[in-house]
């Protein structure tokens, strides 16, 4: 590998670089010399050698100590002079085709980053790892491909679509910039023409000799100024329009992201899926009790909006609270971490139960 | 607890060290705690408190209220999991114990658990018996900010319906659990990161009272205070909260407080002008309330046309609901459950989903100049674009 590196750095001025390592023919003798590589082993050789050795079918690599079986079909020109980089890019392409998840598939940035790091680790193993690590990474890759074939395909398609949209966007942006430049040019042109025209008119009027020469010149200048500023305003409002016009392309991208969740919308539930109607008793609209009669007939209670129904529902709730709650269940629940989003009034029921006993002693409502 | 009693003093000694460092950073008052003393064995309650406190790291101050300071903080084990820590101030009036607001908040928040009510995650006391409430962190400000930011924030009937729905559910849940909030106003309606509205500040809340037990009528911020409280009623019900909800609704529509009275007298005058004068005809017994005074001449209660003209954005059904929330007589005013049963919720337009609700912050107003240089998807500021090796 280090040999490869030193070769590549000195590519242009090192004549050794122009010698085929297999047949030793060089560029001096053969100006059309072209080197090919095979991504199986990345040993380079000239196209003549490739033709000579592999035309009659698969053969082993002629480089001493390699011996990998290569096919002619696999040979191609290296894009990078440094074959190490060429190899890494090939590996990245291969891994990228399998691990092609997109950021918006992840719930949080950190999980996305974790995923990226995992993929990067895999790539490193494939590029720099020992034989064992390589084999292991290779195995992971294969397993993942087999397990997620459908998702990979979906993502590939989505990726292509995103690229299309991106290209479209870039094109539109360029077009918008071009339009702007044209508009500015046109405006300048018109400006010039206008000024020219005004000046000519002024001269004509001066030549005709009607009115004060000074006044005519002043007036003409004013007209020119006014016109150009009016045009500027007009142009600005046009720009506003084109800016708005390019907005839908932004929107379409946002929509693309959301396409993942086309869940059917449920009917809006004003109660948010909660039903707090008492299950163990039915609440009556009125209860007879001597103690309550005074309050019922008291104007101060009634005019202030005191609600007997609220009192009934609370008292009934407290009377029944705690029923159907078993300490055994409670202990299990307590061991779970408190989840803030859950809905529960067990605590309220318990607390209310304690308070009720006290009240019963003092007031004895029912 | 896995700690054996023999190790407790040692681990306890480490505790206050790290704590004094922390408190020095946050309050500048670095007096080391003397809770340990000579007998370094702590009782179980103190240990539990210490354990609870060690779960959180207090950060910088983000707000100051009359009876508490609010700090941003996070879980020690997960720095991305943010919380708000409300540290109750020691008040001069209540040297002996805790301030009643703190007790009210604590008592009711620990019993109410609902998506539209701010959740209390933990409570612990720090040095000098300071009470700290650990609340969920709601980063997107409050509804008042949205209402006032007329320049950058635009919303419509669907958004109002979504917000009102969340508020109504919160207050319905409070009332179903026999809690009066008694301080509903836009800046007590906080907005979570996902757009959910959360009712906060239970410093004035109380349970429903028994008959004959008096409650103070000096609650609820004046602009949102119902007429029965302005007239000094001592026995009232959940209807007081509904009035406030109605005024929040009105404020959402017109983007201005509907009845901003300067004094209590002025507030009554504003109610008489904006809704109608409370009289014996429309509210039996109102004249017997202790502080009943209304300006003359009286204004008859406005009909639907008046509201339709002013709150037409909400649609005829919305206006109908608003009118029912703002009925002068608290006994005839709509209840929280009836609010949610109203036909407005099921009609068009459908309430906006949380993620589509308008939010404050940058990005709400896209400048025209920046339109062409807008960010490309997949490119984060300050981070290189990921190379695409896809075949």
Does residue B140 sit at the A interface (CB-CB below 8 Å)? no
Mean pLDDT (whole number) for A203-218: 76
d(CA B315, CA B124): 48
Alpha helices per DSSP H over chain B: 8-27, 44-54, 100-109, 143-148, 157-176, 227-230, 239-254, 264-274, 304-311, 315-325, 336-341
pLDDT value of position A232: 62
In chain A, where are the structural domains located?
1-81, 153-258, 290-362
Task: From A159, A336, A183, A217, select the one nearest B391 (Cα to Cα).
Answer: A159
Question: How does pLDDT run across B8-34, given as a tens digit for each residue?
Answer: 333 333 433 433 333 333 333 444 444
pLDDT value of position B220: 92
Question: How does pLDDT run across A257-267, given as a tens digit for each residue?
Answer: 343 445 556 77
Average pLDDT value over all residues in chain A: 75
Average pLDDT value over all residues in chain B: 81
Mutation site for A-interface testing, chosen from B79, B111, B231 by largest number of A Cβ within 10 Å? B111
d(CA A239, CA A232): 10
Question: Domain spanning A1-81 has what CATH number?
Answer: 3.30.40.10
Q: How far is the alpha carbon of A214 from chain B, nearest alpha carbon, in Å?
A: 42
Q: Given B165, B368, B376, which is nearest A240 (Cβ)? A: B368
pLDDT at A366 over 50: no
Are residues A348 and B331, on separate chains, in Cβ contact within 8 Å? no
B142 is catalytic: no
Q: Which residue has the higher pLDDT, A240 or A305?
A: A305
d(CA A22, CA A48): 10
Is ipTM strictly over 0.95? no
Task: From B107, B108, B109, B99, select the one nearest B131 (Cα to Cα).
Answer: B99
Residues of B in contact with A245 (CB under 8 A): none
Tell me how far CA of residue A274 lies from CA of A137, A296, A352, B208, in angstroms: 50, 32, 21, 21
Pull the structure tokens for residue B322: 């608003």
Q: Given A271, A305, A340, which is nearest B330 (Cβ)? A: A305
Mutation site for B-interface testing, chosen from A104, A175, A304, A312 by largest number of B Cβ within 10 Å? A304
Q: Given A295, A303, A314, which is nearest B233 (Cβ)? A: A303
Of B183, B201, B241, B320, which one is the catalytic site residue? B183
Q: How far is the alpha carbon of B112 from chain A, nearest alpha carbon, in Å?
A: 7
Give the sign of the dihedral formed by CA B334, CA B336, CA B342, CA B347: positive
Does residue B118 sit at the A interface (CB-CB below 8 Å)? no
pLDDT at A5 over 90: no
Task: From B154, B342, B151, B353, select the one nearest B245 (Cα to Cα).
Answer: B342
Give the sign of the dihedral formed by CA B309, CA B311, CA B315, CA B320: negative
- Confidence bin at A237 (pLDDT 50/70/90): low
- Domains in chain B with CATH codes: 54-137 (3.30.200.20), 143-356 (1.10.510.10)
Are residues B165 and A250, on separate chains, in Cβ contact within 8 Å? no
Does residue B115 sit at the A interface (CB-CB below 8 Å)? yes
- Confidence bin at B263 (pLDDT 50/70/90): very high
Least confident of A223-237, B47-61, B147-161: A223-237
**DSSP assignments along A62-96, one per residue:** -STTT--EE-GGG-B--SSSSHHHHHHHHHHHHHH
């Amino acid at each position: 590998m280090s040999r490869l590196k030193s070769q590549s750095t000195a590519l242009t001025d090192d004549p050794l670089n122009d010698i085929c390592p297999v047949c030793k023919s060089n560029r001096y003798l053969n100006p059309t010399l072209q080197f090919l590589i095979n991504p199986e082993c990345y040993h380079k050789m000239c196209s003549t050698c490739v033709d000579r050795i592999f035309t009659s079918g698969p053969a082993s690599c002629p480089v001493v100590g390699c011996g990998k079986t290569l096919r002619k079909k696999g040979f191609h020109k290296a894009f990078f002079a440094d074959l190490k980089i060429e190899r890494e890019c090939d590996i990245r392409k291969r891994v990228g085709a399998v691990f092609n998840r997109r950021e918006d598939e992840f719930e949080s940035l950190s999980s996305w980053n974790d995923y990226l790091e995992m993929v990067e680790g895999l790539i490193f193993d494939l590029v720099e790892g020992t034989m064992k690590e390589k084999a292991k990474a290779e195995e992971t890759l294969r397993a993942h491909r087999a397990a997620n074939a459908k998702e990979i395909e979906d993502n590939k398609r989505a990726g292509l679509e995103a690229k299309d949209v991106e290209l479209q966007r870039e094109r539109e942006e360029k077009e918008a910039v071009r339009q702007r430049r044209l508009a500015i040019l046109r405006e300048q042109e018109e400006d010039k023409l206008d000024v020219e025209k005004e000046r000519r008119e002024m001269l004509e009027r001066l030549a005709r000799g009607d009115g004060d020469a000074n006044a005519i010149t002043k007036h003409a200048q004013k007209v020119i100024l006014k016109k150009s500023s009016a045009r500027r305003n007009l142009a600005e409002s046009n720009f506003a329009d084109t800016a708005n016009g390019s907005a839908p392309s932004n929107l379409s991208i946002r929509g693309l992201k959301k396409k993942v969740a086309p869940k059917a919308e449920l009917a809006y539930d004003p109660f948010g899926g909660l039903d707090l109607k008492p299950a163990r008793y039915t609440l009556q609209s009125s209860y007879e009790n001597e103690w309550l009669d005074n309050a019922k007939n008291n104007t101060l209670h009634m005019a202030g909006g005191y609600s007997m129904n609220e009192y009934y529902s609370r008292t009934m709730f407290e009377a029944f609270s705690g029923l159907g709650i078993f300490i055994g269940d409670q202990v299990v629940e307590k061991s779970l971490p408190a989840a803030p989003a859950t809905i529960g009034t067990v605590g309220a029921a318990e607390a209310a139960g304690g308070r009720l006993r006290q009240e019963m002693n003092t007031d004895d409502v029912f | 607890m896995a700690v054996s009693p023999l190790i407790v003093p040692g681990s306890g000694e480490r505790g206050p060290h790290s704590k004094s460092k922390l408190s020095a950073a946050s309050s500048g008052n670095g007096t080391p705690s003397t809770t340990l003393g000579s007998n370094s064995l702590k009782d179980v309650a103190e240990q539990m408190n210490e354990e609870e406190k060690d779960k959180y790291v207090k950060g910088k101050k983000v707000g100051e209220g009359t009876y508490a300071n609010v700090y941003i903080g996070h879980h020690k084990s997960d720095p991305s999991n943010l919380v708000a820590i409300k540290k109750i101030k020691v008040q001069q009036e209540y040297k002996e114990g805790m301030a009643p607001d703190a007790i009210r908040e604590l008592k009711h928040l620990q019993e109410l658990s609902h998506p539209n009510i701010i959740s209390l995650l933990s409570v612990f006391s720090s040095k000098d018996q300071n009470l700290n409430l650990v609340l969920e962190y709601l980063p997107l400000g409050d509804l008042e900010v949205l209402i006032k930011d007329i320049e950058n924030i635009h919303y419509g009937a669907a958004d109002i319906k979504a917000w009102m729905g969340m508020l109504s559910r919160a207050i319905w849940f409070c009332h179903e659990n026999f809690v009066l909030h008694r301080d509903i106003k836009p800046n007590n309606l906080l907005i979570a990161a996902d757009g959910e509205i959360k009712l906060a500040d239970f410093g004035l809340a109380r349970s429903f009272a028994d008959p004959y037990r008096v409650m103070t009528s000096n609650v609820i911020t004046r602009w949102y205070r119902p007429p029965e409280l302005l007239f000094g009623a001592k026995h009232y019900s959940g209807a007081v909260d509904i009035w406030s909800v109605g005024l929040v609704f009105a404020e959402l529509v017109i983007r201005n407080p509907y009845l901003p009275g300067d004094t209590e007298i002025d507030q009554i005058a504003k109610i008489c002008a904006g809704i109608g004068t409370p009289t014996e005809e429309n509210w039996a017994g109102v004249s017997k309330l202790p502080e009943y005074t209304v300006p003359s001449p009286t204004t008859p209660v406005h009909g639907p046309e008046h509201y339709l003209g002013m709150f037409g954005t909400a649609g005829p059904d919305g206006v109908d609901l608003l009118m029912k929330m703002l009925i002068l007589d608290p006994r005839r005013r709509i209840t929280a459950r009836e609010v949610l049963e109203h036909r407005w919720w099921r009609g068009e337009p459908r309430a906006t989903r949380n993620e589509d609700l308008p939010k404050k912050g940058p990005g709400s107003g896209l400048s025209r100049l920046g339109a062409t240089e807008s960010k490309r998807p997949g490119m984060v500021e300050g981070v290189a674009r990921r190379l695409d090796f896809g075949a």
